[in-house]
Amino acid sequence: MAPPTRHRRATPLPTRRPVVIANWKMYLGFQESVRVAGAIRSLVGRMAGRAVDVVLCPSFPALIPVREALAGSRLLVGAQDLHPEADGPYTGDVPAAQLRGLVRAVIVGHSERRRGHGETDEQVAAKVRRALTAALVPIICVGETAEERAAGDTVKKITGQVRTILAGVSPLSLIRCVFAYEPVWAISKGPGQPRPQPEPADAAELMGLIRKLAADHAGSGYAAKLRVVYGGSVQARTTTAFVCEPGVDGVLVGAASTKAGELATIVRAVVACHS
């Protein structure tokens, strides 16, 4: 009897589950973090981990109670930063070893840390390597400032940031990373204070640049599995326009993510565009 014919897809489809990341910055207190996490769980707990990954990133002291509030669900917890060194004399910093086991992901290279703490691309690259070594998913923020944009340096800026970071990332590790394109000028000033956003098609083009740089580094097969999200004044009413653009795998949400109802609408909009 002839062996059964194997049917293979000519080009395997990339398997990129969309992702919504909530960056709570210093907006929510300890108890509010637990309350909002619980409310988000009741609203989108069923979708999380299936149609979409949802990652809540509270401040460090709230990591453990938020994790407890989400226990038994598929919602994920992330940290807002980590130190690039494994241990040592670094007052006030948190090492990857203490985050490992507590969180699944960690934001690195956020523009507020680059600006407020003078973080360089090289330091961000070291943080990415540290996160990967600790089996954490690095959520890597890149993007141009208003001045760089006005000078026509957007592509140059993003290319420099991404290349420096990718230099220390193996192809296999690349697919565990999430890149967030966050134009610095579009990041809100806080809850209820959004800034103007880029045209979704322009943002998607720059996110395509990130994927192309990843393909140059690791090959198109690996780059096709990399998740790239948009961040900057994302609100429920603006989400669909961004995430329905090709190659946009989700959003990184700051101020709007502190309201459970608004974040749930954002999560549903992402799922609707990707199903």
Please give the residue whose beta carbon sits closest to ligand PGA in the complex: 254
**CA-CA distance, 102 to 99, in Å (whole number)?**
5
CB of 40 closer than 8 Å to CB of 54: yes
Residues 155-184 that bind ligand PGA (CB under 6 A): 182
Q: How many residues bind ligand PGA (CB under 6 A)?
A: 13
Query: Is 182 considered catalytic here?
Result: yes
210 near ligand PGA, rule: CB under 6 A: no
DSSP letters along 215-268, please?
A: HHHH-HHHHTT-EEEEESS--HHHHHHHHTSTT--EEEESGGGGSHHHHHHHHH
Task: Between 218 and 242, name the residue whose CB sits nearer to ligand PGA.
Answer: 242
Q: Give phi and psi for 120, each to the nearest 5.
A: -95, 170
Three-class DSSP category at 180 = strand
- The interface with ligand PGA within residues 10-69 (CB under 6 A) comprises 23
Q: Residue 141 or residue 218: which is nearer to ligand PGA going by CB? A: 141
Q: Is residue 83 annotated as part of the catalytic site, yes or no? A: no
H or E segment at 66? Answer: helix 63-69
CB 108 within 8 A of CB 128: yes
The nearer residue to ligand PGA, 84 or 194, going by C-beta atoms, is: 194
Least Cβ distance, residue 193 to ligand PGA (angstroms): 8
Interface pattern 214-253 for ligand PGA (x via CB under 6 A): -----------------xxxx-----------------xx
Positions that interact with ligand PGA (CB under 6 A)? 23, 182, 187-188, 231-234, 252-256
List active site positions: 110, 182
